[in-house]
Structure 1
Amino acid sequence: VTLPGMDIVEEALRSVAQGDVVPHEIGTVGPIYAEEYEKLKSEGYALDDTVGKSGIERAMESTLRGTDGIKEITVENGVVVSSDMKTPVEAGKTVQLTVNSDYQRELQNILDGFINNFDSLRDSKTEQLGLKKISCGAIVVLDAKTAGVLGMVTAPTYNLEDYKVDYEAILNAENTPLVNRATDGLYRPGSTFKTITATAGLNEQIITGNSTYFCGHTYHFKDHDYNCTGSHGDIAVTQALRVSCNIFFYKLSEELTIDRISEYATKFGLGQSTGLETGDAAGHLSNQETFAELGADWTIGQVLQSAIGQGEWAVTPLQMANVACTIANNGTRYEPHLVDSIWDYSHTTKLEQKEPVVADQITPVNDDVFQYVENGMIAASTNNFPTRYSLSDLGFDVAVKTGTPQVSNRVQDSFFIGYAPADDPEIAFAGVIEGGEYSKYMIRSVIQAYEKTVRGEQVSVDAVGAQTTVSTDTTGTETTTSATSTSTH
């Protein structure tokens, strides 16, 4: 059919199949801005093209976009006499993510359920601390063998479909849902950091697994008294991790010095971007350099505070999940990543498989270094867990460390890190609740949701803080086939 004055053009349109799955990391596309065009026109973009603006859409733009074709048309006396495709159209490729969409949704339900039902967990401790309503938090779960992101949730969050319809509402919503607290929320790690201090002390041979320090509840240092949560007597590193003895790590930090604490924190990946394709906050260490940058006075007592995760540490849940992953791998730190593989446009032929990238290596001086740390974390998994949230009857050991860091604009946060199963880790994880307590009660659900959605086992995932459980079946999706981002340009 000839339609004078009409030009029919076929183009691909972007659609979001699962707008509730890692929306921050999938990202968005949009028009090319004038300031971008000067650079992009040399790469073959037209001014009216769309381009990745955030997330994977931006990070993998060149892979997802494809290449425009060139057709040469010859016209004589207003009639097309020949049409020759000089450069064929090359379809964009499909980027397959490591995220398991079913697991991602389970994790979001776990986090939202904990926040919504926090009142049911209220007790004398939360009342004494003055902890009220909570609204914000994050959970990250990594594949313990590769550091691929299996799930990464934040609260509050949003749906990409809503983002397209009413961006202003999301932009102006309470508690900044556009911020992914898993990758960009900065927190003090609290006692979860003691795993790093313990590793440093053991690996520098300042202590052995049998070395003890005396804890008498109060430690007098440089004209100041520092307190512990208990009075533990002579205590060694594994027990110190189990009961989170502050004085053990205070005394260890004196011998380590802030330089070696900073060195090991750096080796564990703190104070720097993890290398995630979509980007993440670097945070900062707690040392003299950071204090100088902040315009604060550094005192010798800050060494003690830094050793237990207080001071001026700024870490993300993603970084701390990778700390747990590094311990699980006996000192090998991998780069967390979202991209699993690259496929052709139709998702029928795999073109490239993402291989784990080693970011750093903490070489243990002997086989016992990480074993003592792990033993302390396994022991900590038995601490004060109500039966409903117990980690002792899962059929395997779980390695965890919790923390309740103090913060300036709220009473405290509640942090956890860990990995499971302890003897052959499959997942490493971290979570934080802002201004709350008992975030560790989510760990059992995090593990069971993994068993349900990734392993495909028949389990029930507890709705944390609620009075009912959500039954599940044995259907699941493989991690490598659950979430994709496909060329739409």
Structure 2
Amino acid sequence: MAGMKARDPALRLRRRFSRRALLVGAGQTGLFGLLAWRLRQLQIMESSEYRLLSDENRVNRQLTAPVRGAVYDRFGVAIAEDKENLRVMVIPAYCKNLAATLAAISSIVTVSASDRDRIKRTTRRQSRYLPILVTEGLSWQQFGLLNVLAPQFPGVRTDRASYRRYSNARSAVHVVGYVGMAGEGEVDEDPVMRVPGFRIGKTGIEKGFDRQLRGRAGSISYEVDAHGRIVRELGSVPSEPGKDVVLTLDHELQAFALDRLASQRRGSLVALDCITGEVLVMVSMPSFDPNEIAFKADAQKWKALATSPDEPLNNRAAAGLYPPGSTFKVVNALAGLTAGVITPDERITCRGGYFFGNHLFHCWKTHGPISLHDAIKASCDVYFYETAHRLGIDRLAVTGRALGLGHAYESELAGQKRGVMPDTAWKRATLGVPWYAGETISCGIGQGYVLATPLELAVVSARIASGKVIEPRFVRSHGSGPQPAPAPLPIDPVHLQLVRDGMSAVVNEKGGTATRSVLSIPSMPGVLMAGKTGTAQAFGHGVAHHFTGWEAQPHALFIAFAPVDAPRYAVACVVEHGGYGAHAAAPIVHDVMTELLLRDPAGKPTYTASKPAGAPSALADAGATR
């Protein structure tokens, strides 16, 4: 019995150890099982995901900027294209002393203090193993010397990229526009925006067609170590160049028109094809050279442009708003004929002024009894005061809009503004007050609330000349077939012809306000131009400032089309504070119209780009290709 009792504690100890061992073993088995399950999940089930994460840590992918598409005029002359850009980069991680490296580079090519500050800031923001642009636009001599001395400059890398170069720059800049670095709100639109030196369209066609011109970025993949150092190149995907754009402009006519406007401080001119609506000329004065701000921009030059009182950055032809003055009388005449409130033979007596209530509206001359034809020819204010009074502003506005006023036309020309063709609803919605009958009198001669851009005035002239709903177009279509014929205007052709005859009399009959601008082309005898002069007060409603000197002069305007018997070209010109339309604007239009008829750009075969941009739907019918 004693022996059994002696053995019981040992037995109990062994049993207790066995239970503990069993529990520990079971726990170990469970842990190893869990570990095996997790390893299986990581190695087999989720291997692709972690392999991707591993590759992302091991592989560095850098985007390469595409070559931007070129912009051509209608005959294939390059206006904007990419040129080779020689650059020098620095990789801070490989530099023993970044400041010393930049100082060494500056012994060959200038590195400004602002560039040094930019490089230092960028170094703090991103990996030191990523390249940073030091400067660009190197000469071949500088580029070659940096390549030869590169082994002595650790971390220095040369690079060949591209930059935007504009030809015929000053004459076309307000249509073509220019490129610049992406702004804060644009850098996240596309990863390529963060590529050093990449530029996007800022104004004009460059902005409107930016996505087509931009192309698609390529990439180069590098294997890197744990510190981000490049080990080797793994492969690359080539970038896709941007599409080319062919404009409707004639660059030689652009240069001619700008040169003709050069004598004026501010002005603009637009010329259209009356059949297709293609914009052949659009110039704005003063102009500027986009090469000075699109590449290696000079801060002082940019500031001078941006703060100039003459606003050279503004495209006056598409965004300048002016009272149309007496050029609006052709709109008033068509509205009166359409509504039946006047007839061609009715004579309205002009005594040099028109009383409405207690207010006297002046005419520039006493014309006596005058018919529609002579009222257009002599630009009688009283005739059109009475016509507007009979019409009322709402019926006048219907015809104005039918002729193209108050429109921002569908196109890819960025920055276009809409004129004002007021009516009672417009004033109530805009100013919150009713329309007064006396305001209609002022609108009848293109003053008051009526405002138009030179582009709109050119459209008015083209629509009257053709009898069609002409839409202005800046880009020629590709592969879309012939464009559909413009719809006819909702205006009686007989009435249109009456106004055309009056406009012809302005230039070609004795007593017309623009007889000094009659065409005289020896090689084209008998070819006539029709037109309408305009002289508009340069201030509007609510302007309390009293202008003096040059600013006190009225704006000079002239609209025209030719040939009279088969209209093909329509032109509108505005000279700010130029005085009388017959003296300042009409002679300019005379010279441009003469050049248009002699060159006849609409009658010549045009250029087709090898890789054209697919025109947006608004421009799908921009014109036939050769």
- TM-score, normalising length: structure 1: 0.78
User: How far off its partner does 1:194 sit?
Assistant: 0.6
Over 3 Å counting, the alpha-carbon distance change for 1:181 and 1:69 in structure 2 is same
User: Any idea what the Cα deviations from partners look like across 1:28-87, whole Å, max 9, x if unmatched?
Assistant: 22222332133334xx654543221211111111111112235678999x987974x6x6
- Structure 1 residues 354 and 168, CA, compared in 2 at 3 Å: closer, same or farther? farther
Counterpart of 2:459, as a letter, is N
- Answer yes or no: is the 8 Å Cα contact 2:506–2:515 preserved in 1: no
Partners of 2:379 and 2:513 within 8 A in 1? no
Q: Which has the higher contact order (CA 8 A, sep 6+)?
A: 1
In 1, distance between residues paired with 2:302 and 2:233? 49
Output the CA distance in 2 between the equivalents of 1:483 and 1:442.
Answer: 33
Whole-angstrom CA distance in 1 between matches of 2:164 and 2:317: 26
- AA in 2 matched with 1:378: S
Matches within 5 A, 1:222-237: 222-237=357-372
Moved more, 189-198 or 245-254: 245-254
The residue number in structure 1 matching 2:518 is 390
* Change over 3 Å in CA distance of 1:364–1:40 after alignment to 2: same
CA-to-aligned-CA distance 1:413-456 (integer Å, 9 cap, x gap): 11111111112122111111111231212222111222344459
Task: Tell me how far apart the structure 1 counterparts of residues 169 and 442 of structure 2 sit (CA, whole Å).
Answer: 42
What is the one-letter code of the residue matched to 2:391?
A: L
Matches of 1:304 and 1:47, distance apart in 2:
58
Identical residues among aligned pairs (%): 30
Matches within 5 A, 1:244-393: 244-279=379-414, 280-289=416-425, 291=427, 293=430, 298-330=435-467, 332-341=468-477, 355=483, 358=486, 362-365=489-492, 367-382=493-508, 383-385=512-514, 389-391=517-519
- Give the structure 2 partner of residue 469 of structure 1: none
CA gap of 1:212–1:176, structure 2 versus 1, over 3 A, is same
Question: How many Å separate the matches in 2 of 1:89 and 1:431?
Answer: 44
Q: Please, which of 35, 38, 53 is the counterpart of residue 202 of structure 2?
A: 53
Q: Which residue of 1 aligns with 2:105?
A: none
Aligned residue for 2:564?
Answer: 422
- Provide the rounded CA distance (Å) in 2 between the counterparts of 1:81 and 1:298: 73
Q: Count the aligned residue pairs.
A: 430
Q: Distance in 1 between matches of 2:155 and 2:520?
A: 74
Equivalent of residue 448 in structure 1, options 562, 571, 594: 594
Which letter does structure 2 place at the counterpart of 1:210?
D
Rounded Cα–Cα distance in structure 1 between residues aligned with 2:465 and 2:513: 23
Which structure is higher in helix share? 2
* Alignment match, 2:273: 143
Q: 1:334 to 1:390 in 2, by over 3 A?
A: closer
Amino acid at match of 2:168: Q
State the distance in 2 between where 1:107 and 1:479 align: 22
1:95 aligns with 2:226: no
Shift in CA distance, 269/329, structure 1 to aligned 2, threshold 3 Å: same
Could you tell me how far apart the structure 1 residues matched to 2:233 and 2:322 are? Answer: 68
Q: Decide whether aligned partners of structure 1 residues 270 and 8 sit closer, same or farther in structure 2, where only a CA change above 3 A counts.
A: same
Aligned 8 A contact 1:25 1:56 in 2: yes
Other-structure match for 1:411: 553
Unaligned runs of 5+ in 1: 116-134, 343-350, 457-476
| Aligned equivalents of 1:71, 1:238: Cα separation in 2 | 72
Q: CA deviation at 1:21?
A: 2.7
Alpha carbons of 1:30 and 1:170: their partners in 2 closer, same or farther (altered >3 Å)?
same
Q: Which residue of 1 aligns with 2:336?
A: 201
Q: Quick one: structure 1 residues 484 and 167, their matched pair in 2 at CA, closer, same or farther if it must change by over 3 Å?
A: farther
Amino acid aligned to 2:419: G
Change over 3 Å in CA distance of 1:416–1:483 after alignment to 2: farther
The amino acid that maps onto 1:324 is S
Q: Is the 8 A contact 1:212 1:235 kept in 2?
A: yes
Distance (whole Å) between structure 1 residues aligned to residue 482 and residue 195 of structure 2: 33
Q: 2: distance between equivalents of 1:137 and 1:79?
A: 60
| Structure 1 residues 140 and 14: CA distance shift in structure 2, 3 A | same
Name the counterpart of 1:400: 531
Q: Determine if the alignment matches structure 1 residue 34 to structure 2 residue 161.
A: no
Structure 2 unmatched runs, 5+? 1-146, 540-546, 614-626
Instruction: Note if contact 2:268-2:317 (Cα within 8 Å) is conserved in structure 1.
Output: yes
Asked if 2 retains the 8 angstrom alpha-carbon contact of 1:98 and 1:149, the reply is yes
Whole-Å Cα distance in 1 between the matches of residues 309 and 361 of structure 2? 38
Aligned-CA RMSD value: 3.5
Task: Give distance in 1, aligned partners of 2:471 and 2:163.
Answer: 33
Residue 297 (structure 1) shift: 7.5
Change (3 A) 1:443 1:255: same
In 1: Cα distance, 2:609 partner to 2:381 partner: 43
Q: CA deviation at 1:168?
A: 2.2
What SS does the aligned partner of 1:21 have?
helix
Deviations 1:239-275 (A, max 9, x none): 2111112222122212211101111222222223123
Measured in 1, the distance between the counterparts of 2:176 and 2:282 equals 12
CA contact (8 A) 2:330 2:499 kept: yes
CA distance 1:428–1:81, shift in 2 (3 Å): closer
Separation (CA, whole Å) in 2 of partners of 1:58 and 1:363: 35
In structure 1, distance between residues paired with 2:287 and 2:473: 21
Deviations 1:162-185, CA, capped at 9 Å, x for gaps: 334432232233411111211111
Structure 2 Cα separation of the partners of residues 305 and 160 of structure 1: 40
Structure 1 Cα separation of the partners of residues 560 and 376 of structure 2: 13
| 1:329 shift after superposition | 1.5
Q: State the alpha-carbon separation in 2 of the partners of residues 356 and 319 from structure 1.
A: 22
* Closer, same or farther: CA 35–225 of 1 in aligned 2, 3 Å: closer
Deviation at 1:150, TM superposition (A): 0.9
Structure 2: distance between partners of 1:418 and 1:169:
35
What letter is aligned with 2:187? Y
Deviation sequence 1:76-135 (CA, Å, 0-9, x none) = 9x987974x6x653221110111111101110111113x2xxxxxxxxxxxxxxxxxxx2
SS of 1:340's partner is coil
Q: Which amino acid counterpart does residue 446 of structure 2 have in structure 1?
A: G
SS of equivalent residue, structure 1 residue 339: coil
Contact in 1 for aligned 2:555/2:577 (Cα 8 Å):
yes
Q: State the distance in 2 between where 1:390 and 1:424 align.
A: 17
* 1:195 CA drift (Å): 0.7
The CA deviation at 1:289 is 4.9
Whole-Å separation in 2 of the counterparts to 1:411 and 1:75: 69
Structure 1 contact 102–482 (Cα < 8 Å) conserved? no
Distance 1:211 1:69 in 2: 72
